[in-house]
Structure 1
Amino acid sequence: MSLHPSLQPYADAWTHAAEAISQLVTPLPDREWNRATPCRGWSVRDVVSHVIGMECEALGDPRPIHTLPRDLYHVKTEPQRYMEVQVDVRRHHTAPEMTAELEYTIIRRSRQLRNEYREPDTEIRGLLGRNQTLHDHLRSRVFDTWVHEQDLRAALATPGDLDSPGSAVVRDMILDELPKIVAKRAGAAPGSAVVFDVGGPVEFLRTVRVDANGRGTIDGSPSLGPALTLSLDWETFYRLACGRVTPESAAGEIKAEGDQELADAVLREIVITF
């Protein structure tokens, strides 16, 4: 038995991003591991620790028994505390220790994926103890790993892979959330439409339409007379959705035509992860 064909693209995208991370950090001297990343409160070492820790949990390894310090200003919620344990437990690891563990974890996880025989809709225990399908689990691991690859690239001034296989997964996961963001969180009026015109390495146009009952749907056709059109590049789009930039700091990269109050609400509510 081997990985279900519908899951293979996720395995390939995860492998690409994970190996890119390894290539980025393997040559780094110890001092470079302390560089800040766009992920709030996390250094290069912390981001790599998180990637290692999450994949170890996916492999079924027991979580570390570790008490977090009280002075971690960026840790405010229970999910953040959950994630921080795998990070803080590695904060004093050396560069060779980090790269060795990362390489070994990638080898183990790649072997697990090659030998995965379960169906995509199989329920498994995911992160935070929540059940999810194998499909959703692998999809979320691609999202997380690709975004953190970009965090490291930003910290190390080594741009790239904006159009790698993981980017398509990240795009689709953000797009899945847009109807709720526009219709519910931003409060777009029934009967209105919001167009997202995104250019750059990952290019697309999507329209979120709000029906008479206030429910949002999304499609790829243009809208005649939308309430709002947001035009921006792919890098700005994903960074906004992942909380890496604020609408204020990215204002020069965003063109909003139409209802400015709605534009402010959509850009404020577009964050789906941190």
Structure 2
Amino acid sequence: MTVHPSLQTYADAWTHSLEAITELVTPLVEGEWNRATPCPAWSVRDIVSHVIGLETEFLGDPRPIHTLPRDLYHVKSDFARYMEMQVDVRRHHTAPEMVAELEYVLIRRARQLRNENRAPDARVRAPLGAEQTLELAMRMRAFDSWVHEQDLRAALGRPGNLDSPGAHITRDVLLEALPKVIAKDAGAPPNSAVVIDVHGPLEFLRTVRIGPDGRGTVDGSPSLGPVVTLATDWETYYRLACGRVRPAAVADRVKVDGDQELGAVILREFAVTP
């Protein structure tokens, strides 16, 4: 491959998840495409449509000319409206049409990656007419693809790949959001520390330290006197952080030590995906 070495990890993770998604949905019969997933308001078909749509945009294809129905209650922002367009336009596609388009876009994107020679800081297309670096775009495609692979696995009863390359990228993306979640959104007090202890297929311990100015930072060193310690398994962690489940639904899988009130606020603010 000619892809820049710093982008190879993202390319590999993306490939792993897209191939897994294709394997998951290829044998499905028509009715199974309508199964609900943990992704709010989206079915199996909708998630595959979303994946196809974003990959075609990454290829430079024009967005569909389509008017969204007025009764899509879950579409509440310009960002959601942007994402829903590629989904709604495919809602009446048949199972064979969906699989064929997914396989074709995977072939095209794999070819694009093989020929990719741009630098990581090259500017590329982003949602809503914005721009982003190629590195950020590839990182977020790897993250998004893995999370949606897990949505499909949950809907279809096919668990797996909780420690795959995409899982590691997802962990890092979600951890970057922790300082804002804990320091700003949950309002943890200055000069305090919150520990997140995660076990399972991916194990990690991180401490969010809130400085005297109220800003948070995250590191891998333990804290001797955290104001709160949250302990849970990796699957519950990512589901909470990606808004796939509410804290009350997994209360038995999250242990809160220390300030119970602050712990509850942190969990309430834990979801970071749009």
TM-score normalised by length of structure 1: 0.99
Q: For residues 186-238 of structure 1, what are the alpha-carbon distances to aligned partners after superposition, in whole Å with 9 as ceiling and x for unaligned? A: 10000000000000001000000001111111110100110000000000000
Q: What's the CA shift for 1:74? A: 1.3
Q: For residues 136-169 of structure 1, what are the alpha-carbon distances to aligned partners after superposition, in whole Å with 9 as ceiling and x for unaligned? A: 0000001110000000000000000000000000
Q: Which residue of 2 aligns with 1:231?
A: 231
Counterparts in 2 of 1:1-274, with a 5 A limit? Answer: 2-274=2-274
**Corresponding residue SS for 2:6:** coil
Q: Please say if residues 82 and 127 of structure 2, whose CA atoms lie closer than 8 Å, have aligned partners that are also in contact.
A: no
Alignment-mate amino acid for residue 260 of structure 1: Q
**Corresponding residue SS for 1:249:** helix
Q: For residues 103-122 of structure 1, what are the alpha-carbon distances to aligned partners after superposition, in whole Å with 9 as ceiling and x for unaligned? A: 00001011111111111111
**Corresponding residue SS for 1:70:** coil
- State the 4+ residue runs in structure 1 displaced beyond 4 angstroms: none
The sequence identity of aligned pairs, in percent, is 68
Aligned length: 274
**Corresponding residue SS for 1:140:** helix
Q: What's the CA shift for 1:127? A: 2.1
RMSD (Å) for aligned C-alpha atoms: 0.8
Distance, in Å, in 2 between the alignment partners of 1:42 and 1:229 is 33
**Corresponding residue SS for 1:207:** strand
Distance, in Å, in 1 between the alignment partners of 2:39 and 2:113 is 27
Q: What's the CA shift for 1:128? A: 2.2
Structure 2 unaligned runs (5+)? none
Distance, in Å, in 1 between the alignment partners of 2:116 and 2:129 is 21
Structure 1 unaligned runs (5+)? none
Q: Please say if residues 183 and 215 of structure 2, whose CA atoms lie closer than 8 Å, have aligned partners that are also in contact.
A: yes
Distance, in Å, in 2 between the alignment partners of 1:128 and 1:105 is 22
Distance, in Å, in 2 between the alignment partners of 1:269 and 1:153 is 25
**Corresponding residue SS for 1:139:** helix
Q: Please say if residues 57 and 127 of structure 1, whose CA atoms lie closer than 8 Å, have aligned partners that are also in contact.
A: no
Alignment-mate amino acid for residue 57 of structure 1: E
Distance, in Å, in 1 between the alignment partners of 2:170 and 2:129 is 23
